[in-house]
């Protein structure tokens, strides 16, 4: 695997902890946050990961097809207000927008009676680890060498040689250029979730949000000459011409499909249907924006959608909470 491919995944980190340990080693949420600070630096009052981003807002309208499989208010057919955040993975607030790592879409659905539902996604169909400890190893392996300002190639090689669960996402990022705009990125739920219908029956599902503007990557020339910061401006410029929309497409799992490993893709022939449409109508800088203070915990779920026992999904909630606590304290 090339150093460039290694670097893709090394930058695309959600969270990890200190020490280059075997993937079976258990890690804690506070250790994860400390490691992010050790690799990317501590930025008081800011997120420890996906630090660079932009706020947005709009609404979501679900379909009757989804309502047959889930009693969630998301699929009532009503316009559900949404606060969104688009971001770059990693803890460097000065990362260039051509960085070859993942982009994120985080959504807070504001349901009736003050109920909230969160969905957090990446523009990769798989994640870079099957166990939380792989995050630990990945973030530590990607720490820049003080002499070069870049990750140590030998350390990265060691990481990839001993962590097979990191390879699928690295391969995807190596084969797909970063998007030309947030409006031209497909975002994936990564994990398997459960839709729960009126009869309390559970349906295992995975989803992706497909942009109606089309999925478009940067050309090699654009990567070379693009401005350092362009994603926020391009989203704002696009919205001057009208709303930006994504269709929520849901795939239904079959027996034998992975339910707890976000590094494994489901077969492409799984039945898929349109569950709704997300419409974004406005954007704003994250500083002082509606999304800035939101902790987009993916386990904040309303009735009708439930998590599986995916260890990565389950770990994200305490890791987000640890980071959020430091943000609120201003540390």
Please state the length of the chain.
Answer: 331
DSSP state of 199: T
Listed residue (186, 178, 275, 282) closest to 231, CA to CA:
178
The token pair that represents 148 in the structure block: 């070069």
C-alpha neighbours within 13 Å on the C-beta side of residue 192? 24
Question: How far is residue 4's CA from residue 196's CA, in Å, rounded to a whole number?
Answer: 42
163 catalytic, yes or no? Answer: no
Element of type H or E holding 278: strand 272-285
- Sign of the torsion formed by the C-alpha atoms of 129, 132, 137 and 141: positive
202: β partners: 196
Contacts of 115 (CB under 8 A, 6+ apart): 73, 302
Question: Catalytic one among 50, 117, 163, 191?
Answer: 50
The catalytic residue positions are: 50
């Amino acid at each position: 695997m090339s150093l460039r491919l290694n670097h893709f995944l090394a930058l695309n980190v959600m969270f990890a902890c200190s020490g280059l340990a075997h993937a079976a080693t258990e890690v804690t949420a506070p250790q994860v946050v400390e490691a992010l600070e050790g690799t990317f630096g501590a930025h008081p009052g800011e997120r420890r990961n996906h630090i660079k981003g932009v706020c947005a807002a709009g609404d979501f309208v679900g379909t009757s097809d989804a309502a047959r499989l889930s009693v969630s208010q998301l699929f009532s057919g009503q316009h559900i207000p949404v606060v969104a955040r688009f971001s770059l993975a990693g803890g460097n607030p000065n990362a260039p927008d051509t960085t070859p790592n993942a982009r994120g879409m985080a959504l807070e659905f504001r349901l009736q009676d003050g109920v909230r539902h969160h969905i957090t996604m990446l523009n990769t169909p798989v994640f870079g680890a099957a166990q939380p400890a792989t995050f630990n190893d990945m973030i530590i392996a990607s720490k820049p060498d003080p002499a070069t300002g870049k990750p140590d190639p030998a350390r990265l090689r060691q990481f990839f040689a001993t962590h097979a669960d990191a390879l699928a996402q690295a391969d995807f990022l190596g084969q797909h250029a970063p998007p030309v705009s947030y409006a031209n990125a497909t975002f994936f739920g990564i994990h398997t979730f459960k839709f729960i219908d009126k009869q309390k029956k559970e349906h295992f599902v995975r989803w992706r949000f497909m942009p109606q503007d089309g999925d478009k990557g940067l050309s090699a020339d654009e990567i070379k000459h693009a401005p350092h910061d362009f994603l926020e401006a391009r989203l704002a410029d696009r919205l001057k011409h009208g709303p930006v929309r994504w269709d929520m497409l849901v795939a239904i799992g079959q027996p034998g499909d992975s339910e707890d490993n976000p590094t494994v893709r489901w077969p492409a022939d799984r039945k898929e249907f349109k569950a709704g449409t997300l419409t974004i109508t406005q954007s704003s800088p994250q500083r002082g924006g509606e999304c800035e203070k939101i902790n987009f915990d993916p386990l904040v779920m309303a009735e009708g959608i439930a998590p599986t026992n995916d260890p990565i999904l389950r770990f994200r909630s305490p890791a987000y909470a640890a980071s959020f606590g430091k943000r609120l304290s201003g540390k």
